[in-house]
Copies of this chain bind each other. A is one copy, B any other.
Amino acid sequence: MITSHRNPTLQEVRRLLAKRENGRFVAEGEDLVAAADEAGWEPVVRLRAGEDVTHDALAKVSALGSGSRELAVYEERWGVPTGRLCVALWGVRDPGNVGTVLRGALAFGAASVAIGPDTADPYGPKAVRASMGAVFAVPVARVTALSDLPQPTVALVAREGEPLSRADAGTLVVGAERTGLPADVVAGCDRVRHIPIHSESLNAAMAATIALYEVSRTHA
């Protein structure tokens, strides 16, 4: 059993929680590790408090503190954006929003989530946590151009275009909360759609999830 937080494996965990490297990332907490198991991800390293490592040593490298009873290190997986229903994030810098979109993508059956420019790392610790394990179940892909995405591309904006309807399956392209999608990205999409609201704005993750709900709807 590992007893010192100076142990090289724990030091790697600590480094990965601060700044990822070598294509590896950490999932912390029993629920996340269970989600990875269920999705068939094999950990590179798995550390259970009281079994592989002492509670104290684990708590010292943990991002969550002494409450953490388990963590594991995985190799990142990057795919290509596919499917009848895909979400592409463009300039979504908040990792919590990226994780929440992954959770929504899983809930409403999106085949993949495309990570566009200026978007938070889906394998960063905050995104992994916010995804509640969905990061292990929904394929993620890196993209740099709209042409990489499944067609049609549907720009989700605050007010322009038509209201989003269930006929708009394809790739939902979602921008940052305050600034929205850049004008050239909107112009480059096949369709421009909005979610009709009474107020100023929805947050990016909420807008993306409602959009997924709308286009995946079969029960109305």
Contact = CB atoms under 8 A, between A and B. Distances in A.
Interface of A: 100, 103-104, 106-109, 132, 134, 137, 163, 165-166, 195-199, 201-203, 206, 209-210, 213-214, 218-220
A206 B104 contact: yes
Given A210-B209, A213-B195, A107 B202 contact: yes
A197 B107 contact: yes
A160 to B, nearest CB: 15
Nearest to A110: B198
A103 B137 contact: no
A137 B199 contact: yes
Contacts of A218: 196
Contacts of A206: 100, 103-104, 206, 209
A107 B198 CA distance: 5
A142 to B, nearest CB: 23
Contacts of A203: 100, 103, 132
Nearest to A202: B107
Nearest to A38: B200
Contact of A210 (B134, B165, B213, B219): B213
Contacts of A196: 218-219
Contacts of A100: 203, 206
